[in-house]
Amino acid sequence: MKNVVFLGPPGAGKGTQAVDLARKYGIPHISTGDILREEIKAGTELGKLARNYIDDGNLVPDELAVDIIRKRLQKEDAGNGYILDGFPRTIPQAEMLEHLLSEMGTELSRVIYLDAPEDVIIKRLSGRRICHQCGKIFHTVNMPPLKPGICDACGGELYQRPDDEPEAIRQRLQVYRDKTEDLIQWYADRRLLERVDAGIARVETYKKLEEILSRLQ
Ligand code: AP5
């Protein structure tokens, strides 16, 4: 089973890598951040509730994040594996996930820690641009679109996430250090953790991740 978690600081490249690997292995890429941004875009109650937390760089309440994942993992396409990107992000979320999976008669196969230094992360987040239409991720310097401001894949307009403004980036990094980093040891204790260098070129990190995922039956 490829029931995989991508763990790592904001900007490590979790989303960028997960999209390509999920396509290669035919499993869904489940990003709580993407799901919450969709809810905000659609103007739902959940979106309205989540908006302030996200824009300020804080985490939404654990119960809310777990509820999203509970519903998403029940869908049929998650039956053969998935990449969880951005979940769990706190020890209580990890405990709730463990409980939920055991109720479903399954478990995680691997937690991959995408590790990248803070100076690299800050440059990546500041230059990130995303397509409004299809969600493809670009970077003004590292992965620029062919035409500035326009998505290569669908011609949509590119935008900057509100939480990629400097103040929100600082807050997200602090929240990561305070609440998420402890999960590295938590999963290492359960012998699920594998570290991958994500501070290098995208293709190099991809190769390492591909190696790990292809080993999982
Ligand atoms: P979320 O969307 O999950 O944000 P994040 O974890 O902060 O992660 P990012 O999306 O910023 O980074 P990434 O690692 O995916 O990097 P990317 O591939 O885009 O969450 C947003 C918010 O939602 C949270 O702050 C919180 O409020 C809420 N939330 C979500 N989940 C939650 C949960 N479980 N509990 C509570 N709240 C939750 O890459 C970044 C940039 O770098 C891109 O421009 C890319 O092109 C570039 N890049 C990537 N790799 C490379 C490379 N190797 N070389 C050069 N450039 C690269």
- Strands 128-131 and 158-159, by their bridges, are antiparallel
In the reported structure, the alpha carbon of residue 119 is separated from the centroid of ligand 1 by a whole-number distance in angstroms of 15
Q: How far is the CA of 16 from the centre of ligand 1 (A)?
A: 8
d(CA 91, CA 184): 10
Q: State whether residue 116 is helix, strand or coil.
A: coil
Q: Is 52 exposed, middle or buried (0-12, 13-18, 19+ CB in 10 A)?
A: exposed
- Ligand 1 atom 48 nearest Cα: 13
- Residue nearest to ligand 1 atom 40, measured at CA: 11
**What structural domains does the chain harbor?**
2-116+168-214 (3.40.50.300)
Give the three-state DSSP class for 163.
Answer: helix
- CA–centroid distance, 82 to ligand 1, in Å, is 17
Please tell me whether residue 6 adopts helix, strand or coil conformation. strand
Asked if 101 and 109 touch (Cβ cutoff 8 Å), the reply is: no
Tens digit of pLDDT per residue, the chain (217 long)? 899 999 999 999 999 999 999 999 999 999 999 999 999 999 999 999 999 999 999 999 999 999 999 999 999 999 999 999 999 999 999 999 999 999 999 999 999 999 999 999 999 999 999 999 998 999 999 999 999 999 999 999 999 999 999 999 999 999 999 999 999 999 999 999 999 999 999 999 999 999 999 999 7
Q: Calculate the alpha carbon distances from 68 to 49, 141, 155, 171, 186 in Å.
A: 13, 34, 30, 23, 22
In this prediction, residue 1 carries a pLDDT of: 86
